[in-house]
Amino acid sequence: MKFGSCFLFLLLPTALLAQQTDNAVQRARQRAFTVATIPQTGDPLTLAQAASQAIDVNYQIRINKSQEQIARNNFTRGNAGYLPSLTGNLNSNGGLQSFYQTYLDGLRPPQEANGIFNRTSNLGLNLNYTVFNGYARSATYNQLQQLLKLASVTTRANAEATLASVATTYYDVIRQLQRLIAFSQALDVSRERLDLARATYEVGTRSKVDFLSAQVDYNADSAAVIQQEQFLRDAKVTLNSLLVRDPQTEFAIRDTILVNSNLQFPALEESLASNNPLLATAVLNRTITDINIRLANAQQLPLVTAQTGYNYQFVDNQGGFGIRTGRTSALTYLLTATIPIFNGFNLKRQIQNARVNTLIARDQENNQRLQLQTALTQTYQLYRNSLKLLNLEVLNNQLASQNVDIAYDRYRIGNSTFVEFRDVQRTQIDAQTRLIDAEYNAKAAEIELLRLSSTISQTLVQ
């Protein structure tokens, strides 16, 4: 009887220890945070808010918008030469004079006057108009229109590139946040293992090597959490930079990475051909070079200008000789025709260069179209492959999670070593991080497809 009581007394710590450590991995997972619950300082930030703010404050986009406004101001019929120019002029000159005069014939007495005021005033209007300049006016007006379109397309290209950068960085913050959660969960499991190793070492059922190894692994997982916190801070600094605000601004993100798996290549390719701003820029540049040929050819044709004016002159002479007062008005006109005959073959050279520039612009357009189509094809292949990897990593993560539960139970009851359990735990961490990276890579490929197809603005800015 006494022997039985002693035996039960010796087994009591082991039984209590088994009860305490039962389902330790599940308890660690229950304590683990999610993106929706992990503590974050600062105001919540959504992707739509980040995208809208980036468009409003980005310096390059603001510069592009200002350049677009200049191009809009320049796109007028007057700037193209369709309208006449009217100038007015007014001048008035005069002076105060004093004189003393004697005459050679001696018949007239000397004359003397002081403070005599003389004034001559002119008032005129001049109208100048180009009657014909070899159709250069219509070419110039068309060129101004194309330059406005080019400025607008450039603004859109930079806006879409900025949106893609913001979206990619935003989801990178989520990725780093999810990795931090995964490493924190692994740290909790290592803490449970450390507590188990300490307790079993104290009751004498395990060696000190197990306890020390658990402590080393716990420290390694703690270091991984600290390093991941730095990666998260770096990602947030990058996003703050894109939003043109203090890099140390704190904000909270509660979103998760959700990949759209329904993007279809034919629709993307069609949208690229009709909407991509980089391709539109190449097309506009070719159009502008075609206009430059028209402008060069216009210099071979006559230039006809017309000028008319009205002038009014008022004379007030108090000197006592000549005209005392006078009024003169005149309506004038001038018609000029200039015909280029020879200028050292420079005009021929300019026309030839304009045609060569057109060939260059066409090659650049074709090259740009080829590069965009290549990028779209490669990115779409990456996107489809990323989706396959994502589905595979989801399954791997489920299997790894089940495996770590089994491994911990085996380790708890002494059927496996700490080395075997650590290998299983590392496999699970690797599976989690691969899953997180697969989600991010698929989302990054999706964002790039939206940028190439020029549909990213409709998707991100609601």
Beta strand 251-252 pairing with 43-44: parallel
| 326-356 residue pLDDT tens | 788 889 889 999 998 888 889 899 999 999 9
The pLDDT, as a whole number, for residue 157 is: 95
Give the pLDDT band (50/70/90) at residue 107: confident
What is the average per-residue pLDDT within 306-333? 79
| 380-410 residue pLDDT tens | 999 999 999 999 988 888 887 777 777 767 7
Alpha-carbon span 41 to 250, nearest angstrom: 6
**In what helix (H) or strand (E) does residue 428 lie, and over which residues does it extend?**
helix 418-452
221 close to 215: Cβ distance less than 8 angstroms: no
pTM, two decimal places: 0.83
Among 83-87, 88-92, 343-347, 457-461, name the one with the lowest average pLDDT: 457-461
Alpha-carbon span 34 to 226, nearest angstrom: 18
Alpha-carbon span 24 to 380, nearest angstrom: 43
Highest mean pLDDT among 3-17, 59-73, 332-346: 59-73
- Cα Rg for the chain, rounded, in angstroms? 43
Non-local (6+) Cβ contacts of 353 within 8 A are none
For the residues of 122-136, what is the DSSP string, one character each?
Answer: EEEEEEEEEEESTTH
**In what helix (H) or strand (E) does residue 314 lie, and over which residues does it extend?**
strand 303-317
Give the pLDDT band (50/70/90) at residue 23: low
pLDDT at 141 exceeding the cut of 90: yes
255 close to 47: Cβ distance less than 8 angstroms: yes
To the nearest whole number, what is the mean pLDDT of the chain? Answer: 85
Q: Which residue has the higher pLDDT, 166 or 322?
A: 166
pLDDT at 320 exceeding the cut of 60: no
**In what helix (H) or strand (E) does residue 316 lie, and over which residues does it extend?**
strand 303-317
What is the average per-residue pLDDT within 85-99? 83
pLDDT at 118 exceeding the cut of 60: yes
Q: Which residue has the higher pLDDT, 1 or 225?
A: 225
Extended strands (E) in 47-163: 85-101, 111-132
Q: Give the CA angle between residues 43, 49, 53 to the nearest 5°.
A: 105
The pLDDT, as a whole number, for residue 369 is: 95
Could you tell me what percentage of the chain is helix, strand and coil, using 3-state DSSP and rounding each to the nearest 5? 65, 15, 20
| 414-433 residue pLDDT tens | 666 666 777 777 878 888 89
Where do we find the tokens 């490929």? 445
| 228-287 residue pLDDT tens | 999 999 999 999 999 999 999 999 998 889 999 999 999 999 999 999 999 999 999 999
Would the CA dihedral through 358, 360, 366, 368 be positive or negative?
A: negative
The pLDDT, as a whole number, for residue 11 is: 37
Amino acid type, 40: Q
434 close to 180: Cβ distance less than 8 angstroms: no
Which domains are delineated in the chain?
21-92+134-303+344-460 (1.20.1600.10)
